[in-house]
Amino acid sequence: MTYDYDLFVIGAGPGGVAAAKRSAQYGVTVAIAEQAQAGGGCVNRGCIPKKLMVYASAFARLQRDAIAYGWSKSEQQFDWQRFVTVRDREIQRLQQVQRQALQTAGVEFINERATFVDAHTLAIGDRKITAAKILIAVGGKSIKPAISGIEHALTSNEMFHLRALPKQIAILGGGYIGVEFASILHGFGCEVTLINHEHCLLSGFDADLAAAVHRAFDHRGIQTLCNTTIKTIEPVPEGLRVLLKGETATPLVVETVLCATGRAPQLDELGLENAGVEAKTAIAVDDYSRTSQPHIFAVGDCTNRLQLTPVAKAEGKAFADTVFGQQPQVVHYDYVPSVVCSDPEAASVGLSEATAHEKLGGAIACYQSEFQPLFYSLTDRPQQSLVKLVVEANTERVVGIHMVGDHAGEIVQSLGVSLQMGITKQALERAIGIHPSSAEEFFSLERSPSAT
């Protein structure tokens, strides 16, 4: 049978774009459909605009630090609307970069929604196209819990389109999204209350890392309510009245509520049932990203494997190499670094202490240190950094690296390469670092008293 395309990609986010470009290099005909803007969630409502907000929110504290270093006091004020204008201009530039990259690769870009008619046919607007192989890369969406009045709460998507910064905000969710926005908005001068139903923040991360971030939030004046959740949200003349349940039951009155309780695959109205693609909460795939239909594949957040932009890119490239390059590639998820863009920043790669106990089934050793970086020695901020290694005791193999502090993401992802190579604690001790720096602390860590 003859098809319109060798490959049709649904979704022009990181995974879809990477797959389309790599596939085109193998000489096949490729088209990609995107109902919104090129770049997907990362470029338009995720990583990029969020990181720009992180940068913007840091300048107030940096100005205070500058005074401690001898600079004159500045009366500069933050202009939210000006920031939004320049941020959006950069996002639009990146959208064009994505479209130009696809065009240069020979990929046809279709700025419309695509839905399945059958296993080889897609409806796009008022026309139908066919493809020999189809890749689904539609990403994820924010989800809200079933709480009375939850319709009054924003998700992370709307946080990038605020007309003005709120004076007070309640954030529901102590995962990385909630923690990041708490830090960002506090940096902008908002009064922040972070509400978390679990006993600690960042429950998926190492416990010492999470505790260090929590302590830093306490020092900065970010109110954190753990073992607490929202019962109801109701409009009042002053804004929104938030009734709580759990350890803290004192009601809040805030201007805005942000719901940061997680994300789920975006599978609405795709017509997967028309194509016979198995999906419950996520699209089911094998190690090669193949769905229940042998010619239909899926990568990125819609598969709910590991919701990170670099992972989606890696899955997209591996798909292309496997299917069109005849070079079977499997993405390995063991040592994927992750970062929380909070203040202070937190980053991890490999196993947490608790997960190492669980997976290795034997003794582990933990090495860690908390210290004040040199930068803060002249300031009035009690900013502490944490570095931690999780080590398999019998072999001395390092299985986890964790850090809280400035540039943690840059440092940890660089060290992450060594985990894949099987680095040992002794090898790290033989390394010579740069002084004075935070990264050098990893090379001279002492064993923690609590290590088992």
Quick check: 15 and 316 in contact, CB under 8 A?
A: yes
Q: 142: which residues sit within 8 A by CB, 6+ positions away?
A: 155, 156, 157, 259, 260, 262, 263
Question: Residue 439, Cβ neighbours under 10 Å: how many?
Answer: 18
Q: Which among 312, 286, 310 has a CA at the least distance from the CA of 301?
A: 312
Quick check: 297 and 308 in contact, CB under 8 A?
A: no
Query: How many helices (H) and strands (E) in the chain?
Result: 12, 21
Interior CA angle at 92 toward 88 and 96, to 5°? 170
For the chain of 452 residues, list the mean pLDDT of each consecutive stretch of 10.
97 98 99 96 95 97 94 90 98 98 98 98 97 98 97 97 97 98 98 97 97 97 97 97 94 98 94 97 97 98 95 99 97 96 98 95 91 95 94 96 98 95 96 96 81 51
Level-2 CATH architecture, domain 5-141+265-323? 3-Layer(bba) Sandwich (3.50)
- Is 8 strand, coil or helix? strand
Q: 19: which residues sit within 8 A by CB, 6+ positions away?
A: 7, 9, 135, 137, 299, 315, 316, 317, 319, 320
Quick check: 206 and 338 in contact, CB under 8 A?
A: no
Q: Which among 95, 115, 239, 112 has a CA at the least distance from the CA of 166?
A: 239
**How many whole angstroms separate alpha carbon 351 and alpha carbon 422?**
13
Please pick, among 197, 332, 402, 435, the residue that the annotation labels catalytic. 435
One-letter amino acid at 147 equals I
Quick check: 258 and 155 in contact, CB under 8 A?
A: yes
Query: Does the fold of domain 150-261 match that of domain 5-141+265-323?
Result: yes
Orientation of helix 207-220 relative to helix 353-360, angle to 10° = 170
pLDDT of residue 332: 95
- Is 45 strand, coil or helix? helix
pLDDT of residue 446: 83
pLDDT of residue 202: 98
User: E strand or H helix at 370, and its extent?
Assistant: strand 364-371
Quick check: 109 and 102 in contact, CB under 8 A?
A: yes
pLDDT of residue 248: 86
Q: 39: which residues sit within 8 A by CB, 6+ positions away?
A: 12, 13, 14, 17, 48, 91, 94, 95, 98
Quick check: 141 and 162 in contact, CB under 8 A?
A: no
HEC states along 54-76?
HHHHHHHHHHHHHHHCCCCCCCC
pLDDT of residue 382: 82
The CATH class, in words, for 344-443 is alpha beta
Instruction: State the alpha helices, DSSP H only, in 78-128.
Output: 80-105
pLDDT of residue 449: 58
Classify domain 150-261 at the CATH topology level.
FAD/NAD(P)-binding domain (3.50.50)
**How many whole angstroms separate alpha carbon 408 and alpha carbon 270?**
39
Q: 337: which residues sit within 8 A by CB, 6+ positions away?
A: 347, 348, 349, 409, 412, 413, 416
Domain ranges of the chain: 5-141+265-323, 150-261, 344-443
DSSP 448: P
Question: Residue 18, Cβ neighbours under 10 Å: how many?
Answer: 26
To the query of whether residue 214 is one of the catalytic residues in this protein, the response is no
* Dihedral sign (CA 44, 48, 52, 54): positive
